[in-house]
């Protein structure tokens, strides 16, 4: 009896839904019949064209690799993004140590941005987990802290005995050699860990978002990066460069013809920088200051700002290229995560904060992200780079490294402290990813239960690597969100 009643009730509901849809459709058709067909189709087409112009060409296979944008969207938004957000809330990854007071090495300091949203609130050391601030900055496990502290004591004793017989000039030479050896695999200029200006920053309390920092000071930073460090001659003009002489109606084809004529490595370099720039711009559009009324700031997505930076109609076609370079950069850093997984899978690496239970959970979550990265089927093939004759390839790789290292130094010229913080972090994260991609042999030969002399990551590099990738993951997700917002507007 109950079964018959349920089936009958279900049939009645189904019939009601069908009748409702019929009536609604009839009503809409009658209303629409009063509007000329040409007017309806024309306005609809105009709305589609206007609101989807940012994305109409953002599809298909990316240049210089065999991955399509749609696959990256699905993989990131459903698999990676939720996990990486949880990981970056963990204590190990939320505290970043940085020197935001280093002077600009390339031009006189413009002075720091006075806007309140440009400021960074440092974190008192009393709030930093004891395992993070104890010992040297590159210790990331309890065992490493214990073993290396003994080794350091022995080294200090031995060097003390030796240094008594050395001249000051010889001591300086030894120090220079040590720094040179340490810097051979680094793609970034590292902050001096002994500086009194070095301080911890809680990244969750200092989020990357629009601060109002813009104009000639900001343009000069990016202009220096593109014009002086992307292997570009001054005779080739980058599209939409606000500091370049007016080029009339130049659509940038000359620049892109030049770019396509470059070798793969130099082309990749430009696309990495453009992708980083695009990612930062998306963060500013997605976390824009919408309202300051009643003493409470409201942050959220600004569709108008997004269109200004990425709509092809407003950027002479540049917007789509910028977004594609973002996806390209995402693939590069995703590949680095898949390659470095064996380094973290060793038992010696514990992501040490001094809280054993939290440390274990953090590592488990990190390994899940690495496993997802390894399972992605369309990785960028880094072996296609620096694959020519050994001497030429080595020279090109060193030139590539030094150009990127110079860009990391330019980040000390950013006048907004919060922009400088996130610029330095994301640059160091990308530099760490490049270091990983070109250290395949060293990673394969890692010992299971002891630190490796051939390949090592400091805690700074680990935090920067995952936070930088988290920023890219957020950018891909925000592109999807802006697509939805543009549909809603339509």
Binding residues: 209, 211, 222, 274, 277, 309
**Beta-bridge partners for 289:** 299
DSSP state of 291: E
Give burial (CB, 10 Å; 0-12/13-18/19+) of 260: exposed
Q: Among 220, 480, 453, which residue's Cα sits nearest to residue 330? A: 480
Classified as helix, coil or strand, 73 is helix
Catalytic site includes residue 419: yes
Confirm if 133 and 95 have CB atoms less than 8 A apart: no
What the block records as the tokens of 103 is: 């002077």
Spell out the alpha helix ranges (H) of 376-456: 390-410, 417-437, 440-444
What the block records as the tokens of 308 is: 């200004």
Q: What are phi and psi of 95, to 5 degrees?
A: -105, 120
Catalytic site includes residue 416: yes
Q: Among 321, 254, 255, 310, which residue's Cα sits nearest to residue 282? A: 310
**Beta-bridge partners for 122:** 201
- Side-chain-side CA neighbours of residue 381 (13 Å): 9
Confirm if 486 and 54 have CB atoms less than 8 A apart: yes
Which amino acids are annotated as binding site for FAD, given as ranges? 209, 211, 222, 274, 277, 309
- Side-chain-side CA neighbours of residue 335 (13 Å): 22
Confirm if 384 and 264 have CB atoms less than 8 A apart: yes
Q: Among 290, 280, 287, 372, which residue's Cα sits nearest to residue 86? A: 372
Spell out the alpha helix ranges (H) of 121-214: 130-133, 142-163, 168-183
Q: Among 317, 327, 323, 311, which residue's Cα sits nearest to residue 54? A: 311
In sequence order, what are the residues at sequence separation of 6 or more whose Cβ sits closer than 8 angstroms to the Cβ of residue 304? none
Give the whole-angstrom CA distance, residue 268 versus residue 276. 12
- Side-chain-side CA neighbours of residue 432 (13 Å): 24
Q: Among 195, 201, 194, 205, which residue's Cα sits nearest to residue 128? A: 201
Catalytic residues: 416, 419
């Amino acid at each position: 009896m109950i079964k018959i009643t349920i089936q009958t009730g279900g049939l009645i509901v189904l019939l009601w839904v069908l009748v409702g849809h019929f009536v609604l459709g009839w009503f809409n058709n009658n209303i629409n019949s009063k509007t000329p067909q040409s007017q309806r189709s024309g306005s609809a087409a105009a709305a589609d064209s206007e609101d989807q112009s940012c994305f109409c060409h953002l599809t298909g296979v990316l240049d210089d690799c065999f991955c399509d944008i749609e696959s990256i969207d699905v993989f990131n938004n459903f698999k990676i993004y939720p996990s990486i957000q949880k990981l970056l809330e963990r204590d190990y990854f939320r505290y970043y140590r940085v020197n935001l007071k280093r002077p600009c090495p390339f031009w006189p300091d413009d002075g720091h941005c006075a806007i309140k949203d440009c400021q960074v609130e440092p974190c008192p050391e009393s709030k930093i987990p004891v395992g993070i601030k104890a010992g040297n900055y590159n210790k990331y496990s309890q065992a490493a802290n214990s073993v290396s502290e003994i080794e350091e004591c022995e080294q200090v004793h031995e060097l003390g005995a030796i240094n008594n017989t050395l001249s000051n000039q010889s001591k300086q030479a030894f120090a220079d050699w040590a720094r040179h050896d340490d810097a051979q695999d680094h793609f970034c200029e590292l902050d001096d860990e002994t500086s009194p200006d070095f301080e911890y920053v809680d990244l969750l309390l200092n989020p990357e978002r629009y601060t109002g920092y813009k104009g000639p000071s900001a343009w000069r930073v990016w202009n220096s990066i593109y014009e002086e460090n992307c292997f570009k001659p001054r005779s080739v003009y980058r599209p939409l460069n606000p500091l370049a002489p007016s080029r009339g109606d130049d659509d940038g084809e000359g620049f892109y013809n030049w770019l396509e004529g470059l070798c793969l490595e130099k082309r990749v370099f430009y696309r990495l920088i453009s992708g980083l720039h695009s990612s930062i711009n998306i963060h500013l559009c997605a976390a824009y200051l919408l309202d300051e009324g009643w003493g409470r700031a409201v942050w959220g997505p600004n569709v108008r700002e997004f269109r200004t930076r990425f709509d092809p109609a407003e950027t002479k076609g540049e917007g789509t290229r910028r977004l594609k370079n973002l996806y390209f950069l995402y693939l590069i850093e995703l590949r680095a995560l898949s390659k470095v997984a064996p380094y973290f899978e060793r038992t010696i690496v514990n992501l040490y904060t001094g809280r054993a239970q939290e440390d274990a959970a953090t590592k488990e979550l990190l390994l899940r992200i690495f496993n997802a990265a390894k399972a992605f089927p369309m990785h960028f093939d880094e072996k296609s780079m620096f694959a020519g004759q050994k001497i030429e390839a080595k020279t090109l790789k060193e030139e590539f490294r030094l150009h990127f290292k110079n860009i990391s130094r330019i980040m000390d010229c950013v006048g907004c402290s919060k922009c400088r913080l996130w610029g330095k972090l994301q640059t160091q994260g990308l530099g760490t990813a490049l270091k990983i991609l070109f250290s395949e042999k060293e990673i394969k030969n890692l010992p299971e239960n002891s630190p490796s002399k051939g390949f090592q990551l400091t805690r700074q590099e680990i935090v920067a690597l995952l936070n930088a990738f988290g920023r890219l993951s957020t950018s891909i997700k925000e592109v999807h969100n802006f697509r939805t917002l543009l549909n809603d507007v339509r």
